[in-house]
Amino acid sequence: MLGLRGRGKSRSEAFADTQHAGTAHGVEDWVFRAENVTKVYRNGVRANDGISLHVDPGEVYGLLGPNGAGKTTLVKQAVGLLKPTSGTITLGPYDLIESPAAARQLCSYLPQAQPPIESFSVHEAIQLCGRIRGGRTSVVKRRADELIEALDIGEWRDTRGIRLSGGVKRLVGFAMVTVCPGRVVILDEPTNDVDPLRRRLLWNQIRELGNRGVAVFLVTHNVLEAEKSVDRLAIISGGRLVAEGTPSSMKSEDRGNLRLQLMLVPGCDTPEMPAFCHHATRVGNNVVAVVNENDAAHAIGWAVEQIGEGTAEEYALGATSLEDAYIRLTGEAPGDDGTE
Amino acid sequence: MAHAYWEMCNWEYRNLRMFLPMLTSVLVLQGAGLVLGIGLFFHHIPPSAALYVATGVPVLNLLTLGLIFEPQIVADRRAEGSYEFLRSMPVPRSMMMLAWYTVSLVPSLPALVLSLVVAVARYHLHLAVSPAIIPAIVATSLTGTLLGYALAHGIPSPMVTRLASTTLIFILFGFSPIMFPASQLPAWLVSANRWLPFGSMATIIRSALVHGLATPAGAGRAYVTVCAWGALAALVSARVVRHRR
């Protein structure tokens, strides 16, 4: 039937491999590797174009990019929902493309959409998922209780999914896939709809997964939060991997630069940007640009002038962030709070 | 495998439980309603017609969830995006299907029994229920579920899936010899239904409830037809649920 085959491993051995996620069991290299992955849909859209990356055990790896960049396509291929046109995706000794059953066993996946838990109470959904993934009942129950407390959703422990808000459902979905995690936990926009306080708790749990040796591969639009929480990240644009590295290395090109943010008066057009402002992008009523440190005084003078003319309400000048690198690499601004 | 099957039964049961009382009621009303309602077409319904209606309605009870509702449930999941969550769970696809089949029998069987009780009471029928009713129910419900599964998971568009399952309702009610003899159909439909499973499902159920309406050879052929469709649907289901774009 559906075997977890990987270079001669039996199904029971492969299942056992998932149970030792986070430990030093065995000497296999449990790195998640995507090598030259290309996905061309039937309509000719080249969603992924020669993407190569790897995620080490215990690493929290972020995948950023604009809408339609190919992020979700890439992760779906890792869990056996899509098949690459070419390239390989492996996890330890397992070829996840050749064995989608192994992919589902070894990888826990939280899709972008909400989990189907209308009829389930919160603790039921989490525990059942844990048992489906092969966890022992007592262990799963304990772990479910820990997650409910850690994510501060105890108030809704016995509430059916149909009565939950989108944000709480998202947290429950996260708990469902991490109560008994595989070797890799793949999260697609895990913080969507989650309030700022619980978002912090969620990021703590993501970090905790990494500390336990689980490789976490997460797709997010929330560049600022990703900057604080991921070990490494990749930026995908137009199906291609355009940059990869630690948040610090991504920002290295912006060393010596500052970030100028001008908050425009609602309804005002974007003012003509002076020559010392680079990569200017408008997001809502904010214009963000990069200026060299040596031009800081000119930038402040210009911003004050805009305020005096009634074009802007206020300005801010500070260190560049990962968001500026993102804008530089993709030419687009990420959404704020996970929205576009 | 057994563990996966048990936990998926758990999942499917809990998924449906908010709606199980309503589903059971709908199936009971459907069965009893058809039995009583069709009788209203006649001033005095002939006993043979009453017998066909009484023994045909159970087939509809067994097919409604697996063949009609399942594709619509899956279409809804695709539309709301939760379909992929289930597809990414580490459960063999066969166990998922078997778990759904098991749980879908829960509301179907009471409806089947009740529709027979109503029919016997209303039309003063005498049924001779034989042990063959068990394989007949299993073959009918399993083939119906497998057909529904193939339909549900083989058609990517939720809208097309809903339209297809709605069309099946008309085919089952109006063009399949389930609640009336095949001889009442035009010749071309009689020929078509020789190869389709629905008339054969009615034959095997009927042969287990009433003496004389089907010959042993006829019942045997009907079993072969139903099982062949079941096997075909299983092959198609296995292929479509494993298919990756």
Domain locations in chain B?
Answer: 2-242
Number of inter-chain CB pairs under 8 A, A vs B: 88
Residues from chain A that touch B92, judged by Cβ atoms under 8 A, are 1-2, 101
Distance CA B137, CA B115 (A): 14
- B182 exposure class (CB count in 10 Å sphere: 0-12, 13-18, 19+): middle
Residue extent(s) of CATH 3.40.50.300 domains in chain A: 11-245
Residues 6 or more apart whose CB falls under 8 angstroms from that of B238 comprise B93, B94
Could you tell me if A258 lies within 8 Å of chain B, comparing CB atoms? no
User: A132–B82: do the CB atoms touch at under 8 Å?
Assistant: no
In this structure, is the dihedral angle defined by the CA atoms of residues B122, B124, B125 and B128, taken in order, positive or negative? positive
Could you tell me if A1 lies within 8 Å of chain B, comparing CB atoms? yes
Q: What is the pLDDT of residues B189-202, one digit of tens each?
A: 999 999 999 999 99
Closest-CA residue of A relative to B87 is A81
Distance CA B231, CA A48 (A): 38
Q: What is the CA radius of gyration of chain A?
A: 22
**Cβ distance B15 to A136 under 8 Å?**
no
Distance CA A320, CA A252 (A): 10
Closest-CA residue of B relative to A84 is B245
User: B15–A120: do the CB atoms touch at under 8 Å?
Assistant: yes
CB contact residues (below 8 A), chain A span 283-302, against chain B? none
- B83 exposure class (CB count in 10 Å sphere: 0-12, 13-18, 19+): buried
Q: What is the pLDDT of residues B156-166, one digit of tens each?
A: 888 999 898 88
The residue written with tokens 């000119």 in the block is A298
Res. B49: pLDDT tops 80: yes
What is the architecture of the domain spanning A253-330? 2-Layer Sandwich (3.30)
Q: What is the pLDDT of residues B96-119, one digit of tens each?
A: 999 999 998 888 899 999 999 999
- Chosen for mutation from B91, B100, B243, B245 (greatest number of chain A CBs closer than 10 Å) is B245
Q: What is the DSSP letter of B45?
A: -
Closest-CA residue of B relative to A43 is B245
**pLDDT at res. A340:** 34
User: B93–A2: do the CB atoms touch at under 8 Å?
Assistant: yes
Residues constituting chain A: 340
**pLDDT at res. B45:** 85
Residues from chain A that touch B16, judged by Cβ atoms under 8 A, are 119
* Residue range B120-133: mean pLDDT, rounded: 92
**Cβ distance A199 to A230 under 8 Å?**
no
CB atoms within 10 A of CB A7: 9
Q: How confident is the model at residue B138 (pLDDT cuts 50, 70, 90)?
A: very high
User: B88–A104: do the CB atoms touch at under 8 Å?
Assistant: yes
Residues from chain A that touch B90, judged by Cβ atoms under 8 A, are 101, 104-105, 132-134, 182
pLDDT in tens, chain A (340 residues): 333 333 344 444 545 555 544 444 444 689 999 999 999 999 999 999 999 999 999 999 999 998 888 999 999 999 999 999 999 999 999 999 999 999 999 999 999 999 999 999 999 999 999 999 999 999 999 999 999 999 999 999 999 999 999 999 999 999 999 999 999 999 999 998 999 999 999 999 999 999 999 999 999 878 888 888 899 999 999 999 999 999 888 888 778 889 999 999 999 999 999 999 988 888 889 998 989 999 999 999 999 999 999 999 999 999 888 887 887 777 776 654 443 3
Partner residue opposite B244 with nearest CB, options A100, A114, A129: A100
Residue extent(s) of CATH 3.30.70 domains in chain A: 253-330
What is the architecture of the domain spanning A11-245? 3-Layer(aba) Sandwich (3.40)
User: Looking at A251-255, B52-56, B172-176, B219-223, which range is the least confident one?
Assistant: A251-255
Res. B66: pLDDT tops 50: yes
ipTM > 0.90 (yes/no): no
User: A83–B85: do the CB atoms touch at under 8 Å?
Assistant: no
**pLDDT at res. A5:** 37
User: A111–B88: do the CB atoms touch at under 8 Å?
Assistant: yes
Partner residue opposite B88 with nearest CB, options A81, A119, A120: A81
CB contact residues (below 8 A), chain A span 172-201, against chain B? 173, 182
**pLDDT at res. A328:** 77
Q: How confident is the model at residue B135 (pLDDT cuts 50, 70, 90)?
A: very high
Res. B123: pLDDT tops 50: yes
User: A160–B18: do the CB atoms touch at under 8 Å?
Assistant: yes
User: Looking at A187-191, B40-44, B75-79, which range is the least confident one?
Assistant: B40-44
Residues from chain B that touch A173, judged by Cβ atoms under 8 A, are 85
CA-based nearest distance B145→chain A, Å: 20
Distance CA B104, CA B20 (A): 9
Residues from chain A that touch B15, judged by Cβ atoms under 8 A, are 116, 118-120
Phi-psi sector, A61: left (phi>0), alpha (psi -120 to 50), beta = beta
CA-based nearest distance B85→chain A, Å: 6
- Chosen for mutation from A104, A106, A124, A183 (greatest number of chain B CBs closer than 10 Å) is A104
Phi-psi sector, A238: left (phi>0), alpha (psi -120 to 50), beta = left
The pTM of the full predicted model, rounded to 2 decimals, is: 0.84
Pairing of strands A312-319, A257-264: antiparallel
Residues from chain A that touch B7, judged by Cβ atoms under 8 A, are 128, 131-132
